[in-house]
Structure 1
Amino acid sequence: MYLGLDLGTSGIKGVVIDDKGTVLAQESASLTVSSPQPTWSEQDPLSWWQACVEVIAQLQDRLDLGKLKAVGLSGQMHGATLLNKQGEVLRPCILWNDGRSQAQCDALMAECPELMTRSGNLAMPGFTAPKIRWVQDNEPDIFAQLAYVLLPKDYLMYRLTGLMTTDCSDAAGTLWLNPETRQWDDILLAATGLTQSNMPTVHEGSDLIGHLSPSVAEELGLPLLPIVAGGGDNAAGAVGMGITSPGQGFISLGTSGVYFSVSESHKANPQNTVHAFCHALPHRWHQMGVTLSAANSLAWLAKLLDKSVPELLDALEDSDMLRTNVLFLPYISGERTPHNDPFANGQFVGLTNNTTTEAMTLAVLEGVAFSLLDCQNALHSAGSSVEALSLIGGGARSALWRQIIANVLNKILVYRDGGDVGPGLGAARLALLGEQQSQGQDLEALIAQHCTMPEILEEHHPEESTQDYYQEKYALYQSLYQATKGLNLRLSQLTL
């Protein structure tokens, strides 16, 4: 058996598979996000460890984890976890959807003209490097104590093993890695006052990097298991869905929304806010468009209306409503692709006395689909094209939402078994690959054998009858942001 641990924004998931890739069990524990100021988003790294312990205990109740052969990790990207020389956390982790560092992005772009060339990416507040620059500018006492910077999953790795390691897929989202060489870049590090001594060692995702420390193994009731470097959540999700070859792609409907396409080389296109990162497997890269609030938009509406997400979706499906005059911009955490605007706001337009909860729910589903169309257009402009897309993430469980996205993108969407497991399954597969490679087996042969696409549960074909409706509404969606973006900045500066 192999264990994959996926550290998401809203929770940690543990997934156990057998040596044939069958999911034997999965458990999860929830996490909370703090927003102490507008555009800020933080989490306590100590809560990650507590949730990790909880998940492993839950799995222990269901399976004999003494039979595990290896562990893999995946996790939310970009988060800045700051440690001192003793390995103690200095402040809450600044998360991927934190928008406070736009000024630092502008400064980095101006001061380091090689940044886009060497990193292959545009400086955005979501990335790790601007966050560190913000700490340097605004919390100098913290920066003076800074000894190590770890990404979220790599903090869990440190707690599990005592080792400072990362993988190139996750590290590519920091702006400190050169995706061509798949290693840290000294010039990029120097732009934020760091050196390689502050950074974890970079590995490929399936590399065995060590074992659980004896004290942690005893605490968790596990053997001294080998552990692989793992992957950033989207790259690990791709491994879990068998998206490992050029031309393959998927959409992830998690807290954020991701449009992901595999490439045979590093294809940078930062001018179109396309992310160009390393894959979690060797000799592979990928491009991404990212919308910051996908399933999070629906969860926000459910919380606002004091309902659950399933209640909102069930009511919408029972209503048979397929079209609405209500329009929604899902920019409640700002937006990345295509705007790179941390001050973009979520908006409902078209509300009247007769507007129903169902109309608002449908507008949210459509708005997220339109944001994914923005990502598709950006990737297309960067030379990426995917004919059929797989779906992963919690939001992918909604058949109605899947069909809306197929209609809006005018693409065939394939929902596969395990689509709701996502990165946790990929982390477990990386553990399997690493453990079996250590026995002398060829990695590429192992990838072909074990990183297959799961069984198709349902295919969604775009409905021709909907195309005029969605094209007209998408044009309104695009014009709404352009018409109101100046107001967004003014509102963010309003004294409350």
Structure 2
Amino acid sequence: MYLGIDIGTSGVKALLLAENGMIAGQETAGLTVARPHSHWSEQSPDDWWRAVETAVAGLDAGLRAKVRGIGLSGQMHGAVLLGADDRVLRPAILWNDGRSQSQCAELLRIEPQTPAITGNPVLAGFTAPKLLWVREHEPETFSAVRTVLLPKDWVRLRLTGDKMSDMSDASGTLWLDVAGRRWSPAMLAACGMSEDMMPVLCEGSDASAMLSAEIAARWGMERVPVAGGGGDNAAGAVGLGVIDPGETFLSLGTSGVIFTVTDGFRPAPEAAVHAFAHALPDRWHQMSVMLSAASCLDWAAVLTGLKDVPALLDISLEADEGSDLIFLPYLSGERTPHANPAAQGVFFGLTGGTGRPELARAVLEGVAMGLRDGLDALTGAGAEIGEISMAGGGSRSEVWGRIIAAALERPLVWREGGDTGPALGAARLGRLAAGEGSVREVCVAPAVTARVEPEMVSADRLRYKQERFRALYDVMQAMW
């Protein structure tokens, strides 16, 4: 058995993977996000740990005892600040926090070569601007910082006592020389930091440390290796077998990500495309990221007074096909291609005939068109994308899948375990860290369970809407 633990934004998932590659069990423990001010998004690391303990405890004890390797994945970019005694100094600032927009400009002023060094745009969601914000607004806290960890790496500290990170997760900090897969002294210095404040780097499939005797005893397992792991999307790619150039998947969770493997480091910061190291050695990838994807459906279900997201999907089928209603899905700002944390959600085209079905349909289409913006940014940066594998909880809906296939004008495929998210990839990385199998043997693509081809009538209609969607953004951006 191999244990994968994923530290998500809305919950922690623990998954057991059997030697035959099948999922033997999984449990989830929920999390909440604190938003004490506009554009802020925070969580307590202690809440992550309680959720980890809850999720792991829910797994079958007999199967837990057979675990031979553990892998970690987690939400990227979060800033966990530790003092000299490794005490958490403040709540973690999350990936979808937009408070540090002005610090992005400051970072570029201090180090104009930031995009060239990191291969990425400077965005408020990344970790480095968050530390500049803390330095400016919470100077006493900043002066007490001795270590900065990413969310999954703080959990690793609790599991093993060691401070380590992997290349894929570290790529999202703006402190990594992504091409060289090492910390950048210049980028750390730009934030008033040094390499001794950072965790040791390793590859995601390497054994980073051993599970502590205390945790092993409490969980009823042996002291086993804990893999370097991966950022959530890189781990998700490992789970789907997306490991070779051109292979692509779409993750529909709180955020929406299109992830494509590249034949080397291929930066395109001018398009707000992310170019990161993969969780496997000698591999890189590009990503487009929209900040609000499946979360828009949760919001819309509440807004329209429906019971839940399935009810929203059902009622969308009743929408007037001729409706021109457009929804801009920027409930938390946007990354690719706009890099605009101030962007806001908009319904445009409301009439006296607009009802809940049309609102529901517009939300589904709005997210799909936001994803198309990201896809076009990737292809404009040189990516060649054909068939796309689906992942994440939001990928379960066939109704939404048909809309997304039409908007992207690409076939979509669903694979076994695709809705388990990054936890499956984390478990696979745990297996590799245990030395039990090669990358080719472990990271195979799961069997296809469904396939959707784009319907041409729907694709033509959404292509027309896409033009108006983009024009509406251009008009609105000066008003946010």
- Smaller-chain TM-score range? over 0.9
Structure 1 distance, partners of 2:357, 2:186, is 52
What letter corresponds to residue 447 of structure 1 in structure 2? V
**Superimposed CA distance per residue, residues 189-236 of structure 1 (whole angstroms, 9 cap, x where no aligned partner):** 101011111000111001001111112223333321221110000000
Quote the residue 2:466 is aligned against. 474
**Superimposed CA distance per residue, residues 109-131 of structure 1 (whole angstroms, 9 cap, x where no aligned partner):** 12201211110011100100000
Structure 1 distance, partners of 2:141, 2:321, is 52
CA drift at 1:354: 2.6
Structure 2 distance, partners of 1:174, 1:118, is 12
User: Under a length normalisation based on structure 1, what TM-score does the superposition of the two structures give?
Assistant: 0.95
Structure 1 distance, partners of 2:433, 2:32, is 32
The alignment partner of 1:64 has SS state of: helix
- Equivalent positions of 1:167-186 (< 5 A) are 167-186=166-185
Partners of 2:313 and 2:400 within 8 A in 1: no
Quote the residue 1:324 is aligned against. 323
Quote the residue 2:73 is aligned against. 74
Structure 2 distance, partners of 1:233, 1:324, is 37
Structure 1 distance, partners of 2:168, 2:478, is 35
The alignment partner of 1:486 has SS state of: helix
Q: 1:388 and 2:387 equivalent?
A: yes
Structure 1 distance, partners of 2:279, 2:378, is 20
Structure 2 distance, partners of 1:323, 1:278, is 44
Partners of 2:66 and 2:221 within 8 A in 1: no
Tell me: CA distance 1:452–1:323, structure 2 relative to 1, closer, same or farther (3 Å): farther
Q: 1:296 and 2:295 equivalent?
A: yes
Tell me: CA distance 1:27–1:267, structure 2 relative to 1, closer, same or farther (3 Å): same
Quote the residue 1:378 is aligned against. 377
Structure 2 distance, partners of 1:129, 1:96, is 11
What letter corresponds to residue 474 of structure 2 in structure 1? Q
Structure 2 distance, partners of 1:342, 1:129, is 16
Partners of 2:164 and 2:199 within 8 A in 1: yes
What letter corresponds to residue 105 of structure 2 in structure 1? D
Q: State which of 450, 459, 464 in structure 2 corresponds to 1:458.
A: 450
Partners of 1:253 and 1:295 within 8 A in 2: yes
Q: 1:119 and 2:145 equivalent?
A: no
Quote the residue 2:11 is aligned against. 11
Quote the residue 1:494 is aligned against. none
User: Under a length normalisation based on structure 2, what TM-score does the superposition of the two structures give?
Assistant: 0.98
Quote the residue 2:440 is aligned against. 448
Quote the residue 1:109 is aligned against. 108
Structure 1 distance, partners of 2:312, 2:463, is 25
Percent identical among aligned pairs is 47
The alignment partner of 2:451 has SS state of: strand
**Superimposed CA distance per residue, residues 288-325 of structure 1 (whole angstroms, 9 cap, x where no aligned partner):** 010000001111112333421122113334x3765632
Partners of 1:243 and 1:250 within 8 A in 2: yes
Partners of 1:264 and 1:283 within 8 A in 2: no
CA drift at 1:352: 2.7
Structure 2 distance, partners of 1:467, 1:260, is 22
The alignment partner of 1:227 has SS state of: strand
- Equivalent positions of 1:40-189 (< 5 A) are 40-60=40-60, 63-189=62-188
**Superimposed CA distance per residue, residues 142-189 of structure 1 (whole angstroms, 9 cap, x where no aligned partner):** 101101100011111011111100000000000000111111010011
**Superimposed CA distance per residue, residues 436-460 of structure 1 (whole angstroms, 9 cap, x where no aligned partner):** 25xxx6xxxx111121111111111
Quote the residue 1:361 is aligned against. 360
* CA-based RMSD: 1.2
CA drift at 1:103: 0.5
The alignment partner of 2:59 has SS state of: helix
Quote the residue 1:492 is aligned against. none
Structure 2 residue runs of 5 or longer lacking an equivalent are none
Q: 1:409 and 2:408 equivalent?
A: yes
What letter corresponds to residue 57 of structure 2 in structure 1? A
**Superimposed CA distance per residue, residues 58-90 of structure 1 (whole angstroms, 9 cap, x where no aligned partner):** 1136x5310111110000000011111111111
Q: 1:37 and 2:45 equivalent?
A: no
Q: Number of residues paired by the alignment?
A: 479
The alignment partner of 1:348 has SS state of: strand
What letter corresponds to residue 313 of structure 1 in structure 2? L
Structure 2 distance, partners of 1:311, 1:56, is 31
What letter corresponds to residue 451 of structure 1 in structure 2? C
Structure 1 residue runs of 5 or longer lacking an equivalent are 489-496
